[in-house]
Structure formats: C-alpha cells, structure tokens
Amino acid sequence: MVRLEGVGLRYGWPSGGAVLHDLNFAIAEGGFRWLLGPSGAGKTSLLRLLTLAVRPTGGRLNLLGAAVERAKRAELPPLRRRIGTVFQEFRLLPHLSAFDNAALPLRLAGRPEGQVRADVSEMLRWVGLTSRADALPPELSGGEQQRVAIARAVVARPALLLADEPTGNLDDVQAERLMQLLRELNRLGTTVVVATHSTALVERYPGRALVLAHGRLVHDGDSDQAPRPEPEA
C-alpha cells in the first residue's frame, strides 16, 4: 500500500538542502498512522510526497502499487484520484460553491451527475453543511471551510486518506465527528495518515505513529511509546 525505502527529498534538487533523509517504513492496506513531530520536522514534506505533489529525489516510494519515483507523468493522475487529502489551509477553489468543491473528485473521476449529486449531498449533510451548499468559500467560516475540505477528501472513498492538522479549525464536537469518520473509513479499508501537533488528540485515539525529527524517522510504533516532542525554539 505505502512503502518507503531509503526515501530522501531535496527542494531545488540537486543543489537544494535535504528536508527528508533515508525514510524507511511501510503501511499496510487499511492501516492507520499518526504522523507526529515538531514544526520543521518534515511532516508536511512527507505528506507532499504521499499526495504526489513532489517526487522523491532519492530512494523508492511505492504508493498504491505504483513505483512513484519512476512512474510516467500520465500514470500519476489516476493515482492521485485514489488519494484523499485534507490540507491545513483547506485549498478550496474560491469561485466554486461548497457543493462544487466537494464534488470535484467525483467529477474528475467521471462519475454520473446523478451519483455526484447524491453522494455530495450525503457528505455535506454528514458534515452539517447542507444549508451552506451554495455558499462560496469566502462566505464560509474557517471551520466550515475545513468541513468542506473534509467532505471533498472523503467523498470518493479514497484508498489512501491524508490529513494535515484536520481538527485545527474544528470545535470539539466537529473534531470528534471527524475522528469517528476517519476511524470508520479506516475500518472499511481506507489507509489513513493524520499529521497533528495535538498530543491530546493522539492520547484520545491511540494507535501506530510515525515520528519525524529533522527530516528523519525516529519512531515507527505505538503512539503511547512515541518520544515526547522537543520544545520548539
């Protein structure tokens, strides 16, 4: 499902500095991982690798059965459609309504419009945004935008779901509902990776965790055995 062997990443390769070094880990299909580490540890860079926003500059990355480091460009879009992503900064299209933003993955996958309407309506109802379906992102609060982003990430039932601080803009009730959704998707077979700074969230939902520090993997095991994060400078 997800396998990294000696993966490294440099921005501005080959002259730029390395942000990830020699990462080795694997996540089986239907697995769950917390992605932990202080700011600057490389969590976002690792998520960018897993969302195929960048390719590794070293090592081998196997994602959903594809060897990413040597895959042709034309092979990546179908792969991206099997990956759902909740970005920290939402990344909604400002000129599309909440409904149309949430419908993007289904329409990109060529689903019939009737199915799109049914699935998106159901998802918006689930995140409590039925009455805001026609609103544009600038008209929504931060929490509402986060919920649209979550609806977009999961509406196509992705094989791999990546979330970067998904509860950061949600109240406790919504955060709880989101975690229940992630666990439910995980139970149904979706592989889930959640990056967070929230130790409280991890303690409430213990599981396997990947801990990064200075671009290196320092722990791959149970979250309750993960090293305490260093105080940020």
Partner 1 sequence: MARSLRPSGADDLGLRRALSDRLLPLLVAAMTFLAALALAGSMAAAGLAEHWRSGAASMLTVQVPSPEVGTASGKSRADAVAQVLRGTAGIESSRRLTSDDIAALLKPWLGDNPASLALPLPAMFEVRLNGAAFDAAGLAAGLAQTAPGTLVERNGAWLARLSDLVRSLRACAALALLGVAFIAAAMVSLATRAGLAWRRDAIEIVHGLGATDGMIAGLFAMRITMLTLGGALLGLVVSMPVLLGLTSLAAPFGSGSAEPLSPADLLRTLPPMLWTQLAALPPIAAGIGWVTAQATVRSWLGKLP
As a whole number of angstroms, the distance between CA 169 and CA 88 comes to 9
Contacts to partner 1 from residues 124-163, by CB under 8 A: 152
Contacts to partner 1 from residues 29-68, by CB under 8 A: 51-55
DSSP string for 99-149:
HHHHHHHHHHTT--HHHHHHHHHHHHHHTT-GGGTT--GGGS-HHHHHHHH
Site pattern 100..119 for partner 1 (x: CB under 8 A):
x--xxx-xxxx--x------
As a whole number of angstroms, the distance between CA 177 and CA 173 comes to 6
CB of 77 to partner 1, least distance (A): 5
Q: In what order do the strands lie in the sheet with 216-222?
A: 83-86, 160-164, 191-195, 32-36, 208-213, 216-222
Is 33 in contact with 194 (CB distance < 8 Å)? yes
Q: Which is nearer to partner 1, 26 or 109 (CB)?
A: 109
Site pattern 66..85 for partner 1 (x: CB under 8 A):
-------xx-xxxxxx---x
Q: Which is nearer to partner 1, 36 or 148 (CB)?
A: 148
Q: Which is nearer to partner 1, 42 or 105 (CB)?
A: 105
Q: Which is nearer to partner 1, 113 or 171 (CB)?
A: 113
Q: Which is nearer to partner 1, 136 or 179 (CB)?
A: 136
CB of 49 to partner 1, least distance (A): 10
**Contacting positions for partner 1 (CB under 8 A):** 51-55, 73-74, 76-81, 85, 91-96, 100, 103-105, 107-110, 113, 152
